[in-house]
Structure 1
Amino acid sequence: MDSSLSLSVCIPAYSMDGMGAKYLRVSLDILAKQNFPNFEVVVADQSDDRNIADLCSSYADMTVRHLDTRHLKRQGSANTNAAINAAQNEIVKILFQDDFLNGDDALTKIAHAFGDPEVKWIVTGSEHTRDGHTLIRPFVPKFHDRIQFGKNTISSPSVLALHRENAPRFDEDLIWLMDVDYYKQCSLRFGLPKVLCEPLVVNRQHSGQVSESVRRARVRQELRHVRQKYATHMSWGDWMHYVGRLRRSFL
């Protein structure tokens, strides 16, 4: 691995019904223990109080840059893009505020994989938790060509890392499909991802997740948006898959 390689950990944040700072503290504490030295943390904050800003300023031994992004569209796509846009290092590592790295060497393992110059983007294995301690349901990501229509076989963007140069931006018209659409964008730009099977990320499951509150009308709107976006790349089989996904949104 090139010892000069550097990472930007990009965290979109918001109040999350009062739990945002609590979840973020867990993640930042784990980041502070990483044995990989060359990284910064960029927190794009859309909360309306000072809790997250004050938390970020309390980490004197780690580079944590806090961005006030309340002026942007109040949704994950725009906020994640703001963090990516502010990143200064070679590799961007997305990490949602309610998720956290699994192990003190997670960033080292991710950086090591980028030692191969052919690797442009990486997705890692993950596990899940409800209580922040007990880890369940290990998951190994796998890309498929119709992922943009919502069958997510990769997991949340917290498993993603990629070169900052030429990195796509999240589609700010999407909420429910923002992650799978991004994986499709990356595949068209870079080819297939490098898969690290080891669960280097823990995804937290809770009732405040955006996916828990998406209405069916929104699902149909986003499916149609994605279909129009990738129409020139769609085979007959892709169209049939899209129709099936759309039909299920009415059930």
Structure 2
Amino acid sequence: MKESPLISVCIPAYKHIDFLKRLLDSLTRQTFRDFEVVITDDSPDDSVKNLVTQFAHLLTIRYFRNPVALGTPENWNEGIRRAVGQWIKLIHDDDWLAGENSLQRFADAIQRNPGATFFFCAFRNNWLQSGRMEEVHINSFRYKQLLKQPAVLFSSNVVGPPSVILHPNDKQFFYDNKVKWVVDIDFYIRYFKTARPVHIPEILINVGMGEHQVTQDCFRKREVEVPENFHLLNKLPVGVLKNILVYDAWWRLMRNLEITREEEIRTAGYNGPIHPVLVSMIGWQKKIPRGLLGNGLFSKLSMVVHYLLHRNQLRP
């Protein structure tokens, strides 16, 4: 194997050895072999280390036990820091490669798109408890909107989790350790300022869905979602709210968290500036009966009316 492999498969691990074994098994089956495996381990015991030794003769693995648990997403960053391959393929330990040619397809995409620095693929969600599966593909409308304004990821993360992406190992981009809920879309929006994302329409990754995930602990929690979304918005020009998909995302955020007063944003943990349009949005929603606001069609129409009345206040 070359000193610098084409791809570094970075796996941030934490105790889930059954999941990790499934991922490592999928790596042993790859037809493409120009890759290394970098495992950064946050576990409090030797369970991951012991499993890795069973694969040492099957894969080129470099294992690192973190002296102190780094958590999400800093353990992801540690894998990137340790990688020596030309490209980074981060894969969470509860996800796995969908087929034996998955890494080959990523390598093919690199060759077909010289100059491209960000790839993402279609994927399959797998609910671990129920066994339900869902194939996830980005539609052409969303892809075009993503290329025009990456901040539409506020509306829907159409890229997917970090396990589906591939980017160069330039040691320039790391995940923001101040956030957990919006950590992936924050990374993508920052990356797309300098890179045009290339989509691979084939399902190459299986994504494990379950209660063990960090995102499940964050869902619909004001103290998580409010400060993190404002943290991300403050990195961007306020003009991104003029995109109706972004505007709608903030409308739904305030509605779903049942924010009715500016003070509730403060008590949720955010103390920075709030744009007057967002303050108005909260006041507008407060006047609508909760039953009506929960009706999808009525809520959407109300959002559009509010947007049309206030969009001129959102300067690029």
What is the CA deviation profile of residues 91-133 of structure 1, one whole-angstrom value per residue up to 9, with x for unaligned ones?
A: 1111110000011110011011101312211000101223499
Tell me the SS of whatever aligns to 2:122.
Answer: strand
Confirm or deny that 1:99 pairs with 2:89: no
TM-score, normalised relative to structure 1: 0.88
Which fold has the larger relative contact order, with Cα–Cα distance below 8 Å and residues 6 or more apart in sequence? 1
Residues 81, 171 of structure 2: 8 Å contact kept: no
Greater helix percent: which structure? 2
User: CA 1:247–1:74 in structure 2 vs 1: closer, same or farther (change >3 Å)?
Assistant: same
Change in 2 beyond 3 A, CA 1:223/1:83: same
What secondary structure, in the 3-state scheme, does the structure 1 residue paired with 2:204 have?
Answer: strand
Q: TM-score scaled by structure 2?
A: 0.71
Higher strand share: 1
Which runs of 5 or more structure 2 residues have no equivalent in the other structure? Answer: 259-316
Q: Is the 8 A contact 2:77 2:174 kept in 1?
A: yes
Q: Which protein has the larger Cα radius of gyration, Structure 1 or Structure 2? A: 2
Query: Which structure 1 segments of 5+ residues have no match?
Result: none
Tell me the secondary structure at the aligned position of residue 227 of structure 2: helix
Preserved CA contact (<8 Å) 2:42 2:70: no
Task: Give the structure 1 partner of residue 234 of structure 2.
Answer: 228
**Residue matched to 2:174:** 169
How many equivalent pairs are there?
242
**C-alpha distance after superposition, 1:203-237 (max 9, x if no partner):** 11111111111122110010110011113663533
CA RMSD, Structure 1 to Structure 2 (Å): 2.3
Q: Is the 8 A contact 1:8 1:91 kept in 2?
A: yes
For residues 211-222 of structure 1, what are the structure 2 equivalents within 5 Å?
Answer: 211-214=215-218, 215-222=221-228
Percent identity between the aligned chains?
24
Match status 1:12 vs 2:12:
yes
* Alignment partners' CA distance in 1, 2:243 and 2:27: 43
Give, as a single letter, the amino acid of the residue that structure 1 aligns with 2:228: E
Tell me the distance in 1 between the aligned counterparts of 2:83 and 2:27.
16
- The answer (yes or no) to whether the contact 1:147–1:181 under 8 Å persists in 2 is no
Choose the corresponding residue for 1:36, options 19, 32, 35. 32
The CA distance in 2 between the partners of 1:181 and 1:74, in whole Å, is: 17
Q: Which amino acid in 1 is paired with 2:240?
A: M
SS at match of 1:189: coil
Counterpart amino acid of residue 37 in structure 2: V
